[in-house]
Amino acid sequence: MKILAIHNFHRKGSASGDDQVYKSETALLEAHGHTVVRYTASNDEFDNAGAVGKALSTFGMLWSFKHYKAIRKLIKQEKPDVVHVHTFFPLLSPSILYAAKRSGVPVVATLHDTRFVCPCSTSLRGTQLCNKCGDGRYFRMCRYGCFKGSRAQSFIVAGIFKYHRIRKSFYKQIDKYICLNDNQIRLLKKIGFDGSKIVKKYNFVPDAEASSKAMKNDDLPKRYAVFYGRIGEEKGVRILMKIWDKPQMKDIPLVVMGGGPLEDEFCAWAEKKENVYFLGYTQHDTCLSIVKGGEFVVFPSIWYEGCSMVEIEAESLGKALIATDLGFSAEAVQNGVNGYKVPLNDVDGFTETIADLWKDPQKCKKLGENARADYESKYLPEDNYSRLIGIYERVIRKAGGKKK
């Protein structure tokens, strides 16, 4: 099978989950003998462009003639069986969907976030969950500066999504939506997406347990809890700080790894805490070894995680999760089995749950074993491959039937 895989990468150095999924999924397909034709753009292209280039790129976010023509040409040359789109915003634009459909090739799209409901992709207004723009009245974004805190940028993004809402681009130009959790499916159906075109497929990560060993680090305590990933608002970093500000947490060491927009603020806070070890960006293999040496992973995210790579990676390492009862975590974590769920923004709930589990090392171990079993039952590469190929085969058959 030949697959044209399309993706708009985030900026260089970003540890974004959709970038990681795109790389691992295309590599998995090739490992099974399929031909993968990659077509990508990177947000670095916008950053490095001059004033004229940025103006053209901004217009192209509505409809990129450049990428539309390139996809039409590539499909004519390569004749793929299916087009798989991961992220198209901002540079590729929805024009690539039209290019594929007008070329007669079925289109599969993985929805890594809630962008079809919320043009900002986060379903957050500030730090509060918000899905109001699912009704298509996107210009309310301007009042709140939802997109990067800017009313001007919010106006541009609202206009782009209003145009494509009117054209029903996201409803008509995609043959199959791959959602990552049940919450995504509910949100899409609520705003009129065809449920028969939606399928759920989790992400996967390679078996970290097989290649990682717990790292002995003399600079770290013998026992510790772990937070790792993007140091950003949406990941609940400020919630994490509030948790470890509680007096009950003074004897529970926390190891934090990652980088992001709140890194400086978090670093300044951590320096005042004797029991918080902030390691900043940590090379991946080293990071996994440190996670493996921890007791459990804390994940106080405040937005709808699609299928968190951190969470399934932690499970692959045999580590329990204490996570927000929201999005993917709501179905991935079973209380008292592979971890615990805590209501959104419930600092006291997180504090009590962490403190109670910390006191019971045997419970930590048992939950970790169950987490590993959960990984093996849901997130192995081979199972994911079978699921993905099944999706491709069904849309190809359906497209073939239509042509006849």
Instruction: Say whether both 213 and 164 belong to one domain.
Output: no
- How many CB atoms within 10 Å of residue 404? 4
Instruction: Say whether both 62 and 186 belong to one domain.
Output: yes
pLDDT one-digit tens code per residue, 336-363 = 999 999 999 999 999 999 999 999 999 9
Instruction: Say whether both 163 and 224 belong to one domain.
Output: no
Separation between Cα atoms, residue 398 and residue 402, nearest integer Å = 6
Q: CA dist 195 to 136, 171, 177, 387, Å?
A: 19, 11, 9, 18
CB 314 within 8 A of CB 290: no
CA atoms within 13 A on the CB side of 259: 9
Mean pLDDT of 198-227: 88
Instruction: Say whether both 143 and 167 belong to one domain.
Output: yes
H/E stretch holding 241? helix 237-244
Kindly tell me if the per-residue pLDDT of 310 is higher than 60: yes
In this predicted structure, what is the pLDDT of residue 56? 83
Please provide the average confidence, as pLDDT, over all residues in the chain: 94
Instruction: Say whether both 320 and 213 belong to one domain.
Output: yes
pLDDT one-digit tens code per residue, 266-302 = 999 999 999 999 999 999 999 999 999 999 999 999 9
In this predicted structure, what is the pLDDT of residue 52? 83
Lowest mean pLDDT among 13-27, 91-105, 194-208, 254-268: 13-27
Kindly tell me if the per-residue pLDDT of 210 is higher than 80: no
In this predicted structure, what is the pLDDT of residue 403? 56
In this predicted structure, what is the pLDDT of residue 14? 61
What is the number of domains present in the chain? 2
pLDDT one-digit tens code per residue, 34-78 = 999 999 999 988 878 888 888 888 899 999 999 999 999 999 999
Instruction: Say whether both 104 and 6 belong to one domain.
Output: yes
Q: Alpha-carbon dihedral of residues 66, 72, 76, 78, nearest 10 degrees?
A: 70
pLDDT one-digit tens code per residue, 368-381 = 999 999 999 999 99
Handedness of CA 149, 343, 225, 211 (dihedral sign): negative
Lowest mean pLDDT among 37-41, 123-127, 214-218, 327-331: 214-218
Separation between Cα atoms, residue 377 and residue 316, nearest integer Å = 11
pLDDT one-digit tens code per residue, 139-178 = 999 999 999 899 999 999 999 999 999 999 999 999 999 9
Instruction: Say whether both 217 and 323 belong to one domain.
Output: yes
Kindly tell me if the per-residue pLDDT of 212 is higher than 80: no
Instruction: Say whether both 365 and 385 belong to one domain.
Output: no
Separation between Cα atoms, residue 300 and residue 165, nearest integer Å = 33
Instruction: Say whether both 91 and 167 belong to one domain.
Output: yes
Task: Name the burial class of residue 275, with classes exposed (0-12), middle (13-18) and buried (19+) by CB atoms within 10 angstroms of its CB.
Answer: middle
In this predicted structure, what is the pLDDT of residue 404? 42
Kindly tell me if the per-residue pLDDT of 263 is higher than 60: yes
Tell me the residue range of the domain where 165 lies. Answer: 2-204+381-403
Q: Tell me the DSSP string of 102-145.
A: HTT--EEEE--SSTTT-TTSS-EETTEE--GGGGS-TTHHHHHT
In this predicted structure, what is the pLDDT of residue 218? 79
In this predicted structure, what is the pLDDT of residue 217? 78
Instruction: Say whether both 30 and 162 belong to one domain.
Output: yes
Separation between Cα atoms, residue 382 and residue 364, nearest integer Å = 28
Separation between Cα atoms, residue 85 and residue 76, nearest integer Å = 17
Kindly tell me if the per-residue pLDDT of 390 is higher than 90: yes
Instruction: Say whether both 251 and 322 belong to one domain.
Output: yes
Can you give the CATH number for the domain in which 140 is found? Answer: 3.40.50.2000
Instruction: Say whether both 304 and 363 belong to one domain.
Output: yes
In this predicted structure, what is the pLDDT of residue 401? 63
Mean pLDDT of 297-308: 96
Mean pLDDT of 242-252: 97
